Amino acid sequence: MNPVDDIQTDTTQCEKRLGHDYTRRHNEVVRCLHLLLLNRYKFKSSKRIRSHSVQEILDNEYAEIRVDTRIKTDVKIRNNRPNIFILDKKKNKITLIEAGITSQDSLQIVKTEKLRKYDLLANDFEIIPYVMTWDGIVTKYHKSHLKRLEIPINVEACIQSIVLKKTVETISFDRRRGLESGLNAEESWERASMGVIMRSEMHEEPTLSLKEEKREEDGVKNFKPKNKAPLISQGGTTLEEPTNNINKESDLKEETEVVKEVEENM
């Protein structure tokens, strides 16, 4: 098995991790989106993701926000527990957000599944998938999803760094376990580590600021990174549909330090 296959399996497909590592990584993404929404709809909340605690149901004069709770529907459906439910009271509009972190091979499949889960509600609700791979690859439609959710680029970058950090933690755990299990496990970890290095890109992460930014003409939040390289490239790896690969090669140690620096500023 080559290093890329090793890391894809270890970070997204290992059944032993489904109840812990993957769920924790998924919940961190939901937590970031939840904090963004709370600030947008003027709920009292923390300004830093590190101290933010997700509450299942919140309600004020502007919106009702639910996380992982069942919603009442006129038609009985199997899937009625979205990751995030938003009732915008001013616009009289309901939006469902479904998050997913997956492998490159499953990216398009997961995105499609997230949409199909709520097919019966599509006429009444806006359904938006927020899906990426563990190393930041997204579909060509991801940019439009960011625009619909009004997610600033700096928040998107911070979510990416958190996803990558959780992936690094998973591999680091494997390394410690490998040192106890012998040479073969250690060699396997080395191959997995090379996969992270091959798939990651060094970019300067901004501090997660959830304050509303000034709108640009296209409606996307305005954010100017200090570095000149775009955080979301126009090219990318072609999967079942064209994708944007946000990450390139980097040094794993430097990447980890950048993530740590971002967290300290949260």
C-alpha dihedral (10, 15, 21, 23), degrees to nearest 10 = 130
Q: What is the pLDDT of residue 111?
A: 92
Pairing status of strand 84-88 against strand 137-139:
unpaired
More confident residue, 127 or 50: 127
d(CA 56, CA 65): 8
Q: Give the residue carrying structure tokens 């040094």.
A: 251
Among 28-37, 124-133, 202-211, which is the least confidently predicted range? 202-211
Q: To the nearest whole number, what is the mean pLDDT of the chain?
A: 72
> Does the pLDDT value for residue 3 go beyond 60?
no
Could you tell me which residue, 240 or 152, shows the higher pLDDT?
Answer: 152
Domain boundaries, the chain: 3-264
85-89, 101-105, 234-238, 247-251: lowest mean pLDDT where?
A: 234-238
Name the more confident of 139 and 173. 139
pLDDT at 241: 41
Please say if the pLDDT value at position 7 is more than 90: no
Residue 87: strand pairing partners: 64, 94
Cβ-count burial of 51 within 10 angstroms (0-12 exposed, 13-18 middle, 19+ buried)?
A: exposed
Distance of CA 43 to the CA centre of its chain: 22
pLDDT tens for each residue of 227-256? 433 333 333 333 334 344 444 444 444 444
| Dihedral over Cα of 113, 141, 240, 16: its sign | negative
Q: Is the pLDDT of residue 63 over 90?
A: yes
- The pLDDT assigned to 244 comes to 47
Share of the chain above pLDDT 90, in %: 35
